[in-house]
Amino acid sequence: MKRLGFVLAAISSLCAQNAQREMNSDLVVRAETLHTGVGAAIKDGVVLIQGGRITAVGAAASVKVPAGITVRRAKVAVPGLVDAHGTAGFSGLLNQPHDQEQVERSAPMQPELRAIDGFNGRDPLLGWLRDRGVTTIHTGHGPGTLVAGETLVAKTFGDEVDQAVLKAEAMIAATLGDSAKATEPAKAPGTRAKQVAMVRQALVDAQEYLKKLASPEKGKEAARDLRKEAFAAVLKGERPLLLTVNRAADILAALRIKEEFKIPVVLDGAAEAFLVLAQIKAAGVAVVLHPSMARAHGEMENLSLETAAKLKAAGIPFALQSGYEGYVPKTRVVLWEAAMAAANGLTFEEALATITRDAAKIAGVADRVGSLEVGKDGDVACYDGDPFEWTTHCTGTVIQGRVVSEGEKY
């Protein structure tokens, strides 16, 4: 049986590699202004992509372009946009029960739900994002229950999950606050204290599970427990706990959990982060900030358009996200959220980084995407003007050297 398992795993890996090769292509993107995500903008810049990876970047006069290779021109080109957190591929474009897979409500705590088992790479919402320059998304089970399940990082192109996925197990998504409270009386969790207690107990149980695995009783092996395995991965630092927290009190509760269990934590949403900047900074955690133009109501009633600039000034690593939206088209576009942040305290380059380089770092895929550098994936977004101007259009999107969108259609 073991040999069969190895054979099947090898076949699966080979299929994934072949699918990846089919996605790769050769292309040159030449832009009047090229923003690479590292260093100053390049006038008349060129990105040479071969076999899906970037092999040269620089001014057109300094990059030798092979004969016969296709050249795509743009007024402005930037790294393919990276959405630091959303639910696209789970919450579908049609907004009907059959394409809403982002939250499983049968139990309050289900970290064992694998994102790779629910991701739909064929959903038209991914194409809608692709048409606007978004090439990479950190997506998966979203807010709505205490512990919703795993997230993954994927490209917005590739019909099958093996073609699209960059990181199959990115984070464990959890929520502290009103949105994760039980809706029925006498059901748990009904209060914030109960929420934290349940997460704490789950982590303690996972600690005991790891001890049993390390020192099993004679003749006895610990039975597999998918829930404990998921939390054990957090305890071992293999993936962060992504905690959606908007009230200052919930942010501080998340930081207490981090300190108590010495686990990696990423704060998500963080509408009232500006009230506890010193504590966030001291904890050394990253923030996936709510969309700049999120609606200010409920737990997010105190959000500020200047929070991004305040996080930057405080030296706290952060990125912007599309988040989850309960209405069609079920997602925001991070490009517009970054534009609003640029109008409220961030420079152009700082705002662009929140949806490219910095988002890739927090998602754990900066070795592949987020900037235009030699060796990284050939992902480029092309525009007919300043990307942050409302009248500008995306004129083409490139993923791994392949033109996957000719730009905005509607």
Read off the pLDDT of residues 83-134 as tens digits, 9 standing for 90 and up: 999 999 998 888 788 888 888 989 999 999 999 999 999 999 999 999 999 9
Read off the pLDDT of residues 35-94 as tens digits, 9 standing for 90 and up: 999 999 999 999 999 999 999 999 999 999 999 999 999 999 999 999 999 999 998 888
Tell me which architecture the domain covering 81-369 has in CATH: Alpha-Beta Barrel (3.20)
Q: Which CATH fold would you assign to the domain 22-79+371-410?
A: Urease, subunit C; domain 1 (2.30.40)
Residue 259 has pLDDT above 90, yes or no: yes
pLDDT reported for residue 183? 85
Under the banding of pLDDT at 50, 70 and 90, the label for residue 219 is: low
Per mean pLDDT, which of 4-8, 13-17, 312-316 is the most reliable?
A: 312-316
Contact 179, 299 (CB under 8 A): yes
- Two structure tokens written together for 213: 């695995």
Residue 273 has pLDDT above 90, yes or no: yes
pLDDT reported for residue 97? 80
Look-up of token digits 């960059």 = 166
Average pLDDT of 193-221? 91
Residue 396 β-bridge partners: 382
Under the banding of pLDDT at 50, 70 and 90, the label for residue 2 is: very low
Buried b (16+ CB within 10 A) or exposed e, 348-363: eebbbbbbbbbbbbbb
Read off the pLDDT of residues 7-35 as tens digits, 9 standing for 90 and up: 334 434 444 444 444 568 999 999 999 99
- Looking at residue 121, its amino acid is G
Average pLDDT of 201-220? 89
The count of other CB atoms within 10 Å of the CB of residue 44 is 13
Contact 83, 42 (CB under 8 A): no
pLDDT reported for residue 218? 67
Which distant-in-sequence residues (6+ apart) come within 8 Å of 238 by Cβ? Answer: 169
Look-up of token digits 């743009």 = 74
More confident residue, 142 or 304: 304
pLDDT reported for residue 18? 46
- Two structure tokens written together for 162: 């093996």
pLDDT reported for residue 223? 86
CA 330-132-271 angle, to 5 degrees, is: 50
Write out the chain in H/E/C secondary structure: CHHHHHHHHHHHHHHHHHHHHHHCCCEEEEEEEECCCCCCCEEEEEEEEECCEEEEEEEHHHCCCCCCCCEEEEEEEEECEEEEEECECCECCCCCHHHECCCCCCCCECCCCCHHHCCCCCCHHHHHHHCCCEEEEEEECCCCCCEEEEEEEEECCCCCHHHHEEECCCCEEEECCHHHCCCCCCCCCCCHHHHHHHHHHHHHHHHHHHHHHHCCCCCCCCCCCHHHHHHHHHHCCCCCEEEEECCHHHHHHHHHHHHHHCCCEEEEECCCHHHCHHHHHHHCCEEEECCCCCCCCHHHCCCCCCHHHHHHHHCCCEEECCECCCCCCCCCCHHHHHHHHHCCCCCHHHHHHCCCHHHHHHHCCCCCCCCCCCCCECCEEEECCCCCCCCCCEEEEEECCEEEECCCCC
Terminus-to-terminus CA distance in the chain, angstroms? 52
Contact 58, 373 (CB under 8 A): no
pLDDT reported for residue 22? 56
Average pLDDT of 213-230? 85
CA–CA separation, 299 vs 294, rounded Å? Answer: 11
pLDDT reported for residue 3? 45
CA–CA separation, 87 vs 301, rounded Å? Answer: 22
Residue 175 has pLDDT above 80, yes or no: yes
Which distant-in-sequence residues (6+ apart) come within 8 Å of 316 by Cβ? Answer: 277, 280, 281, 286, 287
pLDDT averaged over the chain? 92
Of 161-165, 239-243, 286-290, minimum mean pLDDT range:
161-165
List the chain domain ranges: 22-79+371-410, 81-369
CA atoms within 13 A on the CB side of 240: 20
pLDDT reported for residue 171? 98
Average pLDDT of 316-325? 94
pLDDT reported for residue 7? 39
Provide, rounded to the nearest whole percent, the portion of the chain with pLDDT above 70: 93
